[in-house]
Amino acid sequence: MTPRKKSFILANNAKNENKYIDPISLNYSKIDNVDPNVYINLPSFIEKVIHIPDRLLDLLELAAYIFASDRMISRGTLNAVEYHSWSRDIHLKIKVRDFSFWSQLEVKESLTNALNFMLGDHNWEISFEQGHSTDPIGLFDKEIFSLKPENVKKTSVVLFSGGADSLAGVLELLNQTDGNVILSSHQSSSSAKKTQNALYTSLEKKFGNRIHHYKYECHLSGKRATDETQRSRSFLFSSIAFVLARTFDQKEFYLFENGVTSLNLFRREDLMNSRASRTTHPQTLFKLMEFFSLVAGFQFEIKHNYVFKTKREVFEIIGKYSPDLISSTVSCTKASFSKGIATHCGRCFQCIDRRLSTVSGGLDEHDHEGLYDFDLFRDSLDGGIKTGVLDYIRQALEINEYSFDSFYEKYFYEFATIVKYLQTNSRSEMDIIEELWQMYKTHFSNVKQALVSARMKYDDPFTKPVQKNNLFSLIATREYLVEDVKRFAENLANKLLDFVSESFANVKPQNENDLNEKVGAFLRSHDKEFRSEYPTVSFACANVIPDHINNSLNLIIESKYIRGSTSPSRVTEGIAADLTKYPETAYILFLVYDPEHQIKSDRVFSEEIHLKERNKILIVR
């Protein structure tokens, strides 16, 4: 096991009193003639709200440095086998103004509990140093000039990312209430800034001074991010909204995210632990509420009103009020990698969900293919996108087929981290699970409708054909109904057929061990390629058996070499013995190398073996 490296961060010119080795210094102001490596527009943010108390200023800086640290310290590669290779151990020390508050054990524990769950890391440790101060930005930057709205009871603070979910929530508040709406945004890139500003301009034209936009700009300066998952953005985002809520004397803010995305029930075993996003998970929000309540000094609430809605239902809200704004929203988690004028990569889970949701809801004319770098309905599905689509469709299908009891049993572990954080006095645990089950049933209906509608629209037999290996060929072959291990075994068998035939065309392997060594080398050399389409697969060859990881794909490969005295009948006996020594749940791929053509009939040879269902025989010559 590779040891986990601990990373040390010193922020706001904090001292390295513990003599940490190779600490990373983060500062947003110039210190000792060293240029800042983090950009924060704190002065202009304060100027717009007039005054922010010291404790809340500390929080804004702390959240910014956590975001910067998260982006600077790599999690490792996406195909890392070991959990600890993906999670991290980070110690951040920051100089603050309100040291007496931040140094409390209860505050530090609440903060790190929220971060560890949200980010999926092994451990975050936060320590504080006293002595930080900044000058007032102007004459009115004083407590007595704190901003108070004319009617604080009718002011709603909303996290506003520029995505469809947050826009839908804003539109509902503006159309169903007569109060003001404060948009709270984090801007870390020019594309995010452009999206948010354009949507705000459109909303302002329609709703006038009922809507106001507050933007907190924060990003690394002079250095490209090492980690692009940006999970800590949720903490920064929420902290900005909390500060604005307190500035406007509110005891809550709104977060709008559909339930399928927010709950993020695992679609593969490797998407558990830190690999599964928990940025708006109910437990994350509960832990944030606990932390913000300590900062505020009273019970603070985060309203998560869309937790039982599907993505299609979110788009239908926008379609009801302002369908023309759909094309201006950005849902993509990898938009910065898009080419040309595209605002979406088209490959990530969010893009898949968005396209199928708008098609299902009949709103795809506002979500046209020009917005996407990859066209889900026309382009060929490569390894990564194909896996994402299969995972997406398969999960929706499986949950639809579950009874309520099966649904509860399948996601029992997940529900333990969800349900109690959604419970109220009027709803029991079973009530909530029933509501979640119905939401996923609705989600499946939406997915099914989307696939039917898309096929009718984009797979017209009388128009120019779409590329090969596209979404519709996947639907035609019902590949999402085949479990991963069988798909993988078929794919692997085709590759092994070519490899073995070509490799031994002139020089035959000396014996079965020699055959296995060369097959093992082939599997290891193609590990990265296989992981692209089958992320749960890894090979660990012990002379004969290439194996999977974490029992996710219970695949066993056995090689048999027919030559000389090793007759087909002896191989048949060996295969029969193998079938009894491996568990029933294992899927076995038998590679039978027969260069001398001793097997007279491949069909008869296979039928003579009392084959159990979960295996495949590949005969190579």
Per-residue pLDDT, 1: 47
DSSP 250: -
Check residues 330 and 33 and name the one with the higher pLDDT: 330
Q: Assign a CATH topology to domain 483-620.
A: Trna Endonuclease; Chain: A, domain 1 (3.40.1350)
Distance of alpha carbon 17 from alpha carbon 333, whole angstroms: 39
* Banded model confidence at residue 520, pLDDT cuts 50, 70, 90: confident
Q: Among residues 266, 285, 14, which one has the least CA distance to residue 126?
A: 14
Whether residue 9 is predicted with pLDDT greater than 60 in this model: the reply is yes
Average pLDDT rounded to a whole number, residues 365-380: 92
Q: At what angle do helices 105-119 and 282-296 cross, to 10 degrees?
A: 160
Residues in the chain: 621
**Structure tokens given for 574:** 């060996």
Check residues 483 and 242 and name the one with the higher pLDDT: 242
Whether residue 142 is predicted with pLDDT greater than 70 in this model: the reply is no
Average pLDDT rounded to a whole number, residues 149-169: 86
Per-residue pLDDT, 4: 66
Per-residue pLDDT, 79: 45
* Banded model confidence at residue 540, pLDDT cuts 50, 70, 90: very low
- pTM of the full structure: 0.81
Whether residue 362 is predicted with pLDDT greater than 90 in this model: the reply is yes
Q: Which positions ≥6 away from 432 have C-beta within 8 Å?
A: 419, 422, 423
Whether residue 73 is predicted with pLDDT greater than 90 in this model: the reply is no
Whether residue 608 is predicted with pLDDT greater than 70 in this model: the reply is no
Distance of alpha carbon 204 from alpha carbon 493, whole angstroms: 59
DSSP 378: T
* Per-residue exposure over 611-621, b if at least 16 CB sit within 10 Å of its own CB, e if not: beebbbbbbbb
Q: Where are the domains of the chain?
A: 6-158+220-302, 332-481, 483-620
Check residues 18 and 612 and name the one with the higher pLDDT: 18
Mean pLDDT of the chain: 84
3-class SS string, 336-355: HHCCCCCCECCCCHHHHHHH
Average pLDDT rounded to a whole number, residues 512-526: 79
Whether residue 265 is predicted with pLDDT greater than 90 in this model: the reply is no
pLDDT digits (tens, 9 = 90+) for 103-115: 999 999 999 999 9
Amino acid in the structure at residue 456? M
